[in-house]
């Protein structure tokens, strides 16, 4: 017995030593809350001023003006590309002195806060407002004059949609469409429709129950003001959803809205209507072709004799481009594009040239997004415009119809350049003359003069300071305009994140990402790693532009973590069609293997990464993915913070869920009692859920959700919580009171909450302070 007691004593001592050793290691590096607080977005956003030049082009000119702020203050510049000059628009001290005399108020000449800045069409008068008074600055004489009170001028109402020259106003009332003269406050209200009703309304707010209240209508004006059109959606049969505003005074209030879910029979039905202003007549266009189709309308330009629209089927793989004769209402299908498994909604675009004589259509028919030229009258394909290689064409930047050229962004064409960077190109409309314009390895944004002779090129990367250049239409640099001022950030100890490249789980596909380190990084330490995720498929979690915050990432890393964010197969439409459709019919699991394998590769490369302590977090789709990762690989991920996650996409919105996971049409023939045969159509769109994995939980899970989230309904997180309870699992759940999907003013609280969560479960740093505040023992 004594020997047994002695043996047990040794065992207990051994266990105690192991426990003390673990605690010592866990507490060796406490979370650095002060550093995280210092570099929190709300505390460092004033350290960085302007990052882009936004040119304001002179009328019928290649000249432009812009404002730019550095730590030395805000300046106003005028640039003349032809003369290659950049000059101050005015002397700030003189401008402030004149304003002080005119307004009898002090002005900060280093940061002139001028409201409603606009250059008049005379290209010499800059107008702005101070206390509802118009002021005019003459660019030639450099003098400011006081104008009239803007309070006397007719004010634009937020319920009004003005015609192009402000002659008419369209609006909705009692869900019907109305018209009235804009320049007459006593103008008669002209009622154009009588069939509008709640959930099949001419108003943007289809569920509004207010009587006789004017509201903004869904109407759009043609350029010549002779016609309007309305794309009206009938949601009367669509199922209702609701959230509760529990903070409403004096009583909590229910908010009811229509919300179609995947696989449901009753979904919104679209109706396209034309209105003739002179005759007050309406034409309901015959656009029906596909069951539960979606419609997007386009105007041709200055004329109103025609318009165009696209018509897509419910499975999102077949689309028609159609033309409307607005005089007769006749609808003509110009061409049909078929794209399996689904169309890329992010970059799909139709450009109308020369009042509809020609069309540019973006398509992935060859596996990469490309531009095609069509005849706008016959629908015949003229030629492919982007004929130089295999790459993804992004947004059209400008079309020069006189010079027969198109300027556009594209990704993935240049060898050795990150495929996420938007570079700038041009090509002739006939498919010749392809040329790269801006290929510096960074993300570019173009703003071009009306003549298409010059453009301002803003570019940056997560590890590159934002820069702005003036270039000609051959891509030649005329002058460097600006570079973001990093003085205060560098002084505070800010360091750039690092880009990296790894392989996907297939060992072939390149994945790209960004790594954030503590600014007091010590390569001899071991740091827990946290993955910030978003599954896509319409976007990925990391940005390509310079950011001082990286969302939550910069501050989170300062606690003592390596924070990474990377792409994965199925994540981004910026890459080829195979890449961005990889997750089709696998909406829950497709991104998980690549995230896990990427973290493993990073740990293989870097000895400072502690793969025994792995966290993961994300919002919305990232909330969905982070929980799925924790439950799918419970022995790899240790802690997940999942906010506003769409954990059950069967109760998320129809278009996103059905497009990206797939929906199958099922037609069944039935006979009634008289022997008449009918066809009943149903839809199958079941999607795997996170709650079905609840029994797998081993690590730590933090679920949060806004109680008024009318995008991703709170039921998504509650269903996971319910299954976790049934499985007898411990987890944390925090409703965010009164908050919508983005958490609004509660976002800061959530960020602190996440800091404490990861500090506890990845660093073993438990604090007992009650206030969400900096702990006293830092």
Q: What is the pLDDT of residues 110-120, one digit of tens each?
A: 999 999 999 99
Mean pLDDT value of segment 649-668: 94
**What is the spatial distance between Cα 672 and Cα 680, in angstroms, rounded to a whole number?**
12
CA atoms within 13 A on the CB side of 215: 18
Res 24 pLDDT > 50: no
CATH class of 157-343: mainly beta
Q: Is the pTM of this model over 0.85?
A: yes
Q: What is the pLDDT of residue 9?
A: 57
Going by C-alpha positions, the residue among 734, 745, 740, 743 that lies closest to residue 708 is: 740
**What is the spatial distance between Cα 154 and Cα 186, in angstroms, rounded to a whole number?**
12
Res 150 pLDDT > 90: no
Evaluate whether 157-343 and 346-461+463-496 have a shared fold.
yes
**What is the spatial distance between Cα 456 and Cα 52, in angstroms, rounded to a whole number?**
10
Q: What is the pLDDT of residues 481-518, one digit of tens each?
A: 999 999 999 999 999 999 999 999 999 999 999 999 99
CATH class of 346-461+463-496: mainly beta
**What is the spatial distance between Cα 319 and Cα 362, in angstroms, rounded to a whole number?**
12
For the record, the structure tokens of 282 come out as: 């309406």
| Cβ partners under 8 Å of residue 184, min gap 6 | none
State how beta strands 639-643 and 700-706 pair. Answer: parallel
DSSP result, 197-210? BTTB-SBSSTT---
| Cβ partners under 8 Å of residue 402, min gap 6 | none
Going by C-alpha positions, the residue among 751, 634, 639, 628 that lies closest to residue 701 is: 639
The burial of 5, by beta-carbon neighbours within 10 Å (0-12 exposed, 13-18 middle, 19 or more buried), is given as: exposed
Per-residue HEC secondary structure of 103-157 comes to HCCCCCCCCCCCEEEEECCCCCEEEEEECCEEEEEECCCCCEEEEEECCCCCCCC
Mean pLDDT value of segment 429-438: 97
Q: What band does 90 get if pLDDT is binned at 50, 70 and 90?
A: very high
Domain boundaries, the chain: 47-149, 157-343, 346-461+463-496, 498-666+680-763
Q: 498-666+680-763 belongs to which homologous superfamily? A: Alpha/Beta hydrolase fold, catalytic domain (3.40.50.1820)
Q: What is the pLDDT of residues 590-602, one digit of tens each?
A: 999 999 999 999 9
| Cβ partners under 8 Å of residue 729, min gap 6 | 694, 695, 697
DSSP result, 289-325? -STT-EEEEE--SS--SEEEEEEE-TTSSEEEEEEEE
């Amino acid at each position: 017995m004594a020997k047994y007691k002695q043996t047990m004593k040794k065992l207990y001592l051994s266990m105690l030593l192991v426990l003390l050793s673990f605690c010592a290691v866990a507490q060796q590096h406490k979370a650095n809350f002060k550093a995280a607080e210092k570099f929190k977005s709300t505390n460092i956003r004033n350290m960085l001023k302007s990052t882009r030049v936004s040119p304001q082009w002179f009328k019928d000119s290649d000249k432009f003006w812009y404002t730019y702020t550095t730590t030395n203050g805000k300046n106003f510049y005028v640039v003349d590309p032809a003369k290659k000059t950049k000059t101050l628009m005015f002397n700030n001290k003189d401008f402030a002195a004149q304003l002080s005399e005119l307004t009898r108020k002090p002005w900060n000449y280093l940061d002139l806060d001028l409201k409603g800045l606009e250059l008049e069409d005379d290209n010499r008068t800059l107008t702005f407002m101070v206390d509802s008074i118009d002021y005019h600055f003459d660019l030639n004489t450099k003098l400011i004059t006081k104008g009239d009170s803007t309070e006397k001028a007719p004010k634009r109402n937020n319920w009004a949609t003005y015609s192009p020259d402000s002659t008419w106003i369209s609006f909705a009332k009692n869900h019907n469409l109305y018209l009235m003269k804009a320049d007459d406050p006593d103008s008669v209200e002209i009622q154009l429709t009588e069939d509008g009703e709640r959930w099949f309304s001419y108003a943007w707010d289809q569920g509004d129950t207010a009587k006789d209240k004017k509201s903004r209508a869904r109407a759009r004006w043609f350029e010549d003001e002779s016609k309007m059109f309305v794309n009206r959606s009938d949601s009367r049969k669509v199922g209702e959803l609701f959230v509760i505003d529990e903070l409403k005074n004096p009583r909590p209030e229910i908010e009811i809205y229509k919300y179609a879910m995947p696989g449901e029979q009753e979904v919104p039905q679209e109706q396209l209507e034309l209105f003739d202003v002179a005759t007050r007549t309406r034409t309901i266009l015959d656009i029906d072709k596909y069951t539960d189709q979606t419609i997007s309308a386009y105007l041709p330009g200055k004329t109103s004799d025609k318009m165009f629209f696209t018509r897509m089927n419910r499975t999102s793989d077949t689309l028609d481009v159609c033309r409307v004769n607005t005089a007769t209402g006749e609808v003509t299908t110009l061409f049909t594009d078929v794209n399996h498994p689904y169309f890329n909604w992010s970059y799909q675009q139709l450009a109308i040239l020369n009042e509809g004589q020609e069309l540019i259509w973006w398509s992935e028919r060859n596996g990469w997004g490309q531009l095609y030229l069509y005849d706008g009258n016959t629908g015949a394909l003229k030629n492919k415009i982007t004929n130089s290689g295999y790459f993804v064409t992004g947004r059209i930047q400008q079309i020069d119809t006189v010079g027969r050229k198109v300027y556009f962004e594209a990704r993935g064409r240049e060898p050795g350049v990150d495929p996420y960077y938007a570079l700038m190109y041009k090509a002739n409309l006939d498919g010749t003359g392809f040329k790269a314009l801006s290929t510096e390895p960074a993300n570019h944004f173009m703003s071009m003069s009306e003549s298409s002779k010059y453009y301002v090129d803003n570019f940056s990367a997560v590890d590159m300071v934002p820069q702005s250049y003036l270039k000609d239409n051959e891509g030649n640099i005329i002058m460097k305009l600006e570079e973001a001022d990093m003085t205060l950030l560098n002084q505070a100890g800010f360091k750039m994140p690092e880009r990296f490249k790894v392989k996907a789980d297939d060992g072939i596909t390149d994945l790209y990402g960004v790594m954030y380190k503590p600014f007091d990084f010590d390569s001899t330490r071991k740091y827990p790693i946290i993955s910030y995720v978003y599954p896509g498929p319409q976007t990925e979690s990391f940005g390509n532009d310079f950011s001082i915050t990286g969302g939550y990432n910069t501050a989170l890393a300062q606690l003592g973590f390596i924070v990474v964010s990377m792409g994965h197969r199925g994540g981004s439409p910026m890459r080829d069609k195979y890449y961005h459709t990889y997750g089709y019919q696998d909406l829950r699991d497709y991104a998980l293997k690549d995230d896990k394998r990427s973290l493993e590769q990073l740990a293989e490369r870097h000895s400072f990464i502690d793969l025994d302590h792995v966290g993961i977090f994300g919002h919305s789709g990232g909330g969905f993915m982070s929980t799925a990762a924790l439950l799918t690989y419970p022995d790899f991920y240790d802690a997940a913070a999942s906010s506003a996650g769409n954990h059950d996409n069967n109760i998320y919105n129809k278009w996103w869920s059905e497009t990206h996971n797939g929906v199958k049409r099922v037609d069944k023939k039935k006979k009634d009692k008289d022997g008449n045969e009918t066809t009943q159509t149903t839809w199958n769109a079941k999607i795997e859920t996170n709650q079905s994995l609840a029994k797998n939980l081993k690590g730590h899970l933090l679920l949060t959700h806004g109680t008024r989230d009318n995008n991703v309904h709170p039921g998504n997180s509650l269903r996971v919580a319910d299954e976790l309870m049934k499985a007898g699992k411990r987890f944390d759940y925090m409703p965010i009171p009164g908050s919508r999907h983005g958490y609004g003013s509660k976002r800061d609280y959530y960020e602190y909450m996440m800091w404490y969560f990861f500090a506890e479960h990845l660093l073993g740093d438990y604090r007992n302070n009650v206030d969400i505040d900096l702990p006293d023992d830092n």
